[in-house]
Structures are given as structure tokens and as C-alpha cells.
């Protein structure tokens, strides 16, 4: 069955209230997961973690739960279309993964239960009233608060001490990115670094902006989390232009990025299963506090460091959670 036909079927089959469905534990619940990223190995690992945890809570796909995934491959317009289709299908719960996906869902509905993952600064973005008391129909799991921008800059300076100019590769319409930029600019004063934004909206703009920035020496990059910047492109561009760069997620370092500092995403998806379980059993999202990361991971790719002519200090290597040779 085609996805559009499936979603049309869901619209007719899921029209009764959530509270009524929550009274019967064997009634089939329907969950739609809106993902801004591509359906690749990283995404599948997260999906599998969610499935395993839900299984442990008594949710078996095909028996009492059905989960449909919609991937946007970093295309914001595609996300908006997917969000409208997801809302029209009237599922019991919508999982919105990343800030753009949450914004798209928020624009499409103000009533259906929404659980978010991998979202930065949900209070500043206007998605929830507070972390402790989110209010409304939305709750979830954050990945970064604004002050992480300063930590990224400090870590990059430790890895590449000669850096004097740093560009923050960001998406101008993602509100959390403004906070990352401000934090980096604040931290830059003590570090003697000039920080500038590189606003990008598509992959072509990423390539042009980084190439232009690389024309002057002693530059480096902070790559902000976004479906656009998630793939191999920013890693390849940084290598091509010989720019030391720090990334938000470990897979960037494993794929050749110099250094990453961010959350364990698989762990967040496992933890999110507990909220999926509670919401499907009738808990109002407004009564579930937004959960923050419990651990950040530092990963350093020594192969990339050597290619850039960098010697990483033993102290920094000792702090790393993973060193890639």
C-alpha cells in the first residue's frame, strides 16, 4: 500500500478520542514519526532502539501499536507536506524529530498529542511554556540548550589553537541556532576569536558559504544541528578546505569530522519510549516534564587531526569518550 493511501486509511480508522482508546490496552494505537532526516543506518538504529523499548513496555507492532515513519531528507518543504499528512491521519501520537519537524507539526495542529526528540531550546522556540510544566499538547526530549555554542567554540579552540575565525553553519529560520550563535560570540571575547554566522537553507548554499569563508586563513567551523547539516557534506567540505570543525553528534566524528560534542541519540530514543508508553495509556503531555540530556559525549578523530596537521593534547584526549584512530 502506498504511504498516501495508508495515511488516508488511518484518517478514517482513528477518529475516536484518545481517552476512550486508552481504556482498552489491546486496542491498536497509531503513531506517526516525522523525521527531518534521511532513512539511513543512523536513523534505523534510533528507530530500532525505540521499538525495543516499546516492546519491553508491552507494545507489539501489528498487535496493539502501528508506527509509520515519514522521512524528509533534510527538505524543509517536504517536512511541511509530511506534517500536514501526519495530522490529517489523526494518529494517537505524533513524534516530531528535530526543530524543523516540530515547527512543521506545530504549524499544522494545536490539539493532537506531540512528543518531540532531538529538539534544541524548546522554551525559546515557543514550543512549551517551561521545561517543568510544558503545558498544551507538547512535551519531549531536548538535545542542546543555547549555551552549548560557547562550549563548542572552546572545544574547537582546544583542538585547533591557531584558529582565529570561526563560522557557525546554521539555518536562519531555526530559532535555537540564534542562541547557539550568541553563546559562541560571548565566549569568543575571552578566546580572541571572531565568530560569524553562515546562514544556509539548502545544500548548495552550504557549499558556497563554506568555500567563501575558507578564502581567508586560520578559519574553523561550528556546525549547528539541523537535517541540512546532518550528512556527509559538511564533513567533506571541511576536509576539502582544510577547516577544523566541531559537530553536534558522534556520527560526524566517526564519518571523518574532526571533533564532536553532543548527546547519545540512541539513549534518548530509548528514554523516549517511556513517554510514548505513558501518553498512549492516557497521560496528558502537559503533565510530562521536558527531559534534558543526562550526558554529553566528546569524540575526537585523530586521523582527521593528523590530516589537518593538528596535534591534540594528551589532556584533551584523556577527556574524550571516544578517540577514533
Neighbours of 121 (CB within 10 A): 23
Please tell me the predicted confidence (pLDDT) of residue 286: 94
> Model's pTM, two decimal places?
0.84
pLDDT over 50 (residue 50): yes
* Mean of pLDDT values over 212-222: 98
User: Which SS3 state, helix, strand or coil, does residue 315 take?
Assistant: helix
Mind listing the pLDDT tens digit for each residue in 96-126?
Answer: 999 999 999 999 987 899 999 999 999 999 9
165 pLDDT more than 90: yes
User: What is the CB-side half-sphere exposure of residue 31 using CA atoms within 13 A?
Assistant: 26
Query: Given this model, what pLDDT does residue 295 score?
Result: 82
Note the pLDDT of residue 307: 97
Between CA 77 and CA 92 the distance in angstroms is 24
Q: What's the chain's average pLDDT?
A: 90
Domains and CATH numbers, the chain: 3-142+265-287 (3.40.50.2300), 148-263+296-324 (3.40.50.2300)
pLDDT at residue 24, as a whole number? 56
List helix spans (H) across the chain: 3-13, 18-22, 41-56, 76-88, 99-108, 148-159, 175-191, 203-213, 233-240, 250-254, 265-280, 302-307, 314-319
> Which band of pLDDT confidence, cut at 50, 70 and 90, is reported for residue 25?
low
Beta strand pairing call for 114-119 and 165-170 = unpaired
Does the pLDDT at position 23 exceed 70? Answer: no
What is the rounded distance in angstroms from the CA atom of residue 285 to the CA atom of residue 179? Answer: 26
Q: How far is CA 272 from the centre of its chain?
A: 14
Q: How confident is the model at residue 27 (pLDDT cuts 50, 70, 90)?
A: confident
pLDDT surpassing 80 at residue 15: no
- Per-residue cell: 168: 557557525
- Per residue in 59-82, pLDDT (tens digit) is 999 999 999 999 988 788 899 999
pLDDT interval class at 12 (50, 70, 90): very low
Residue 8 confidence (pLDDT) above 60:
no
118-161: per-residue pLDDT in tens? 999 999 999 999 999 999 999 999 999 899 999 999 999 999 99
* DSSP codes joined into one string, 180-228: HHHHHHHHHHHHT-EEEEEE-SSHHHHHHHHHHHTTSSSEEEEE---GG
Asked if the model's pLDDT at residue 1 lies above 90, the reply is no
d(C-alpha 138, C-alpha 264), whole Å: 22
**Rounded to the nearest 10 degrees, how much is the dihedral formed by the CA atoms of 253, 78, 131, 53?**
-70
Amino acid at each position: 500500500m502506498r504511504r498516501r493511501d495508508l495515511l488516508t486509511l488511518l484518517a478514517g480508522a482513528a477518529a475516536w478520542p484518545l481517552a476512550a482508546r486508552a481504556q482498552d490496552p489491546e486496542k491498536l494505537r497509531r503513531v506517526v514519526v516525522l523525521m527531518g532526516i534521511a532513512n539511513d543506518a543512523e536513523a534505523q538504529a534510533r528507530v530500532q532502539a525505540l521499538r525495543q523499548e516499546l516492546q519491553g513496555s508491552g507494545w507489539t507492532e501489528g498487535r496493539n501499536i502501528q508506527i509509520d515513519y515519514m522521512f524528509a531528507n533534510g527538505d524543509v518543504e517536504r517536512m511541511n507536506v509530511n506534517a500536514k499528512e501526519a495530522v490529517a491521519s489523526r494518529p494517537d501520537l505524533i513524534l516530531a524529530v528535530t526543530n524543523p519537524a516540530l515547527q512543521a507539526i506545530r504549524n499544522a495542529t494545536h490539539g493532537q498529542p506531540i512528543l518531540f526528540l532531538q529538539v534544541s531550546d524548546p522554551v525559546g522556540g515557543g514550543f512549551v511554556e517551561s521545561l517543568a510544566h510544558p503545558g498544551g499538547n507538547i512535551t519531549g526530549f531536548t538535545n542542546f540548550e543555547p549555551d552549548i555554542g560557547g562550549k563548542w567554540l572552546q572545544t574547537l579552540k582546544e583542538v585547533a589553537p591557531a584558529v582565529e575565525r570561526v563560522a557557525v553553519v546554521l539555518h536562519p529560520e531555526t530559532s535555537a541556532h540564534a542562541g547557539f550563535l550568541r553563546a559562541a560570540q560571548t565566549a569568543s571575547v575571552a578566546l580572541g576569536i571572531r565568530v560569524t554566522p553562515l546562514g544556509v537553507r539548502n545544500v548548495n548554499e552550504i557549499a558556497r558559504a563554506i568555500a567563501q569563508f575558507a578564502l581567508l586563513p586560520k578559519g574553523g567551523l561550528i556546525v549547528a544541528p539541523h537535517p541540512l547539516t546532518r550528512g556527509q557534506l559538511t564533513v567533506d567540505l571541511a576536509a576539502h578546505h582544510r577547516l577544523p570543525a566541531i559537530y553536534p553528534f558522534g556520527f560526524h566524528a566517526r564519518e571523518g569530522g574532526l571533533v564532536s560534542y553532543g548527546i547519545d541519540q540512541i539513549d534518548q530514543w530509548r528514554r523516549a519510549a517511556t513517554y510514548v508508553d505513558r501518553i498512549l495509556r492516557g497521560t496528558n503531555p502537559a503533565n510530562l516534564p521536558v527531559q534534558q540530556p543526562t550526558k554529553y559525549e566528546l569524540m575526537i578523530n585523530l586521523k582527521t587531526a593528523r590530516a589537518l596537521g593538528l596535534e591534540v593534547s594528551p589532556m584533551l584526549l584523556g577527556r574524550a569518550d571516544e578517540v577514533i584512530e
